[in-house]
């Protein structure tokens, strides 16, 4: 069912709705996440050796000099908005040598350096987003020569004609559509750009935080999240699965966390900083796929009607788990690294299957953090010593960042298949 036909959560319950709907869907699908499997991951050499280094590695930092804080907020918000196309990882690798997120980040980088801030050439403004065309997007993505497919001529045998089409063209179309659609909203609502809208939402959240008696929770995050999701269709990451709504809101929550990471430690920042350490994870295709490969999500028990039991048939065996949870293999030399092949295409899922796996990942990460924080000191000492007491303090966004980053950090992890869902903004 299109997201436009899915009811939005009740006001004030957006974050709770993510947690509850994802947990409910995982349980209805009978997807297993056991405490034993979680502890096996937490005490594994793979997790322990890399968590501290990768726990904030969301890849959202842009190597640019911005004329103002608002200009940087605008670019950061746009990068979050366009953080999709993971289902096109393989064709994008073949076209550019980069994966989905790296292509989107390079596009936003090109969009910024090619724009003339403050005039009609500013493609980062609301008006610029509203009027951008597919050809410009293809040029800035560096794929203008990769968006045609050959089709037989209707009346001349043996003659082929090039026409727009193929998976890379689909990405160009979707990026253009999201920019135009969001630009339409911003122009009609009187915002100069996406950053101005996000800043207003952040300020509304800050007002609620100051008035709230709940200083341990993060009421401001719910206010900001609701404002972003209600206004912008590309943030409405939700569906009906098994007759019930499920909410993920990955990109909208990632926007909040990216703001907190970037501006939270900036002295004198004029950007209100939401407290994001308790947000649910930002579930895409990487996090659920990796949790299956690492043995935390067990699909073997899932209900047959969901069609997920055989999605990753090789995952979960003892031999594979011992390799993946062990120390990283030696880093290949430069010559062999230069010859690396594009990743393999993963299993192609339906939207319902993809949302079910993403929901399972959201709930699995909740259980990972609950288990880590509930570890007894004696258990930690017995599995590695008192230097691992930091396990009791890990947060959900840190677990999210670790899974996402470690998937790129090890050669054997990069080779693991991720599920594929195309034609989606989420």
pLDDT at 335: 45
pLDDT of residue 150: 60
Say if residues 50 and 380 touch (Cβ distance below 8 Å): no
* 357 within 8 A of 379, measured Cβ to Cβ: no
> 281, 283, 286: which is closest to 416 by C-alpha?
286
CA-based R_g, the chain, Å: 22
pLDDT attached to residue 338: 47
pTM across the whole model: 0.91
β-strand pairing of 244-247 with 148-152: unpaired
Q: Which residues contact 183 (CB under 8 A, 6 or more apart)?
A: 126, 127, 128, 129, 130, 131, 132
pLDDT in tens, the chain (426 residues): 556 689 999 999 999 999 999 999 999 999 999 999 999 999 999 999 999 999 987 777 777 888 899 999 999 999 999 999 988 988 999 999 998 999 999 999 999 988 854 445 689 999 999 999 999 999 999 998 877 666 665 666 666 556 677 899 999 999 999 999 999 999 999 999 999 999 999 999 999 988 876 656 689 999 999 999 999 999 999 999 999 999 999 999 999 999 999 998 777 678 999 999 999 999 999 999 999 999 999 999 999 999 999 999 989 889 999 999 999 888 765 545 545 567 788 999 999 999 999 999 999 999 999 999 999 999 998 887 778 999 999 999 999 999 999 999 999 999 999 999 999 988
pLDDT on residue 54: 93
pLDDT recorded at residue 1: 52
* Cα(62)–Cα(102) distance, integer angstroms: 11
Distance in angstroms between the alpha carbons of the first and the last residue of the chain: 14
């Amino acid at each position: 069912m299109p997201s436009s036909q899915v009811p939005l959560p009740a006001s004030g319950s957006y974050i709770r709705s993510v947690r509850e709907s994802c947990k409910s869907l995982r349980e209805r699908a009978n997807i297993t996440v056991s405490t034993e499997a979680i502890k096996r991951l937490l005490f594994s050499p793979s997790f322990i050796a890399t968590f501290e280094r990768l726990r904030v590695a969301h890849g959202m930092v842009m190597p640019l000099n911005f004329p103002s804080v608002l200009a940087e907020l605008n670019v950061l918000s746009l990068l979050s908005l366009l953080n999709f196309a993971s289902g096109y990882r393989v064709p994008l690798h073949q076209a550019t040598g980069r994966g989905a997120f790296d292509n989107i980040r390079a596009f936003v980088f090109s969009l910024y350096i090619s724009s003339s801030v403050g005039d009609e050439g500013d493609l980062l403004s609301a008006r610029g987003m509203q009027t951008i065309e597919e050809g410009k997007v293809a040029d800035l993505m560096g794929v203008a020569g990769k968006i045609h497919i050959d089709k037989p001529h209707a009346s001349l045998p043996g003659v082929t004609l090039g026409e727009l089409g193929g998976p890379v063209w689909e990405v160009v179309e979707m990026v253009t559509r999201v920019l135009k659609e969001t630009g339409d909203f911003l122009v009609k609502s009187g915002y100069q750009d996406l950053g101005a809208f996000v800043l207003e939402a952040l300020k509304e959240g800050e007002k609620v935080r100051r008035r709230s008696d709940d200083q341990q929770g993060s009421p401001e995050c719910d206010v900001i999240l609701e404002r972003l999701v209600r206004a912008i269709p590309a943030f409405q990451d939700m569906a009906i699965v098994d007759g019930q709504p499920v909410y993920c809101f990955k990109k909208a929550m990632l926007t909040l966390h990216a703001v907190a990471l970037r501006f939270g430690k900036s002295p004198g920042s004029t950007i209100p900083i939401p407290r994001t350490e308790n947000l649910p994870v930002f579930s895409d295709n990487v996090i659920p796929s990796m949790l299956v490969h690492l043995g935390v999500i067990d699909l073997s028990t899932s209900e047959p009607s969901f069609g997920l039991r055989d999605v990753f048939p090789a995952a979960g065996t003892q031999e594979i788990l011992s390799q993946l949870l062990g120390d990283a293999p030696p880093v290949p030399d430069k010559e062999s690294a230069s010859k690396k092949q594009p990743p393999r295409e993963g299993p192609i899922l339906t939207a319902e299957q993809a949302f079910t796996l993403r929901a399972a990942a959201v709930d699995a990460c909740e259980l990972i953090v609950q288990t880590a924080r509930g570890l007894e000191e004696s258990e930690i000492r017995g599995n590695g010593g008192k230097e691992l007491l930091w396990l009791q303090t890990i947060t959900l966004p840190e677990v999210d960042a670790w899974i996402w980053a470690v998937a790129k950090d090890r050669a054997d992890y990069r080779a693991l298949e991720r599920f594929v869902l195309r034609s989606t903004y989420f």
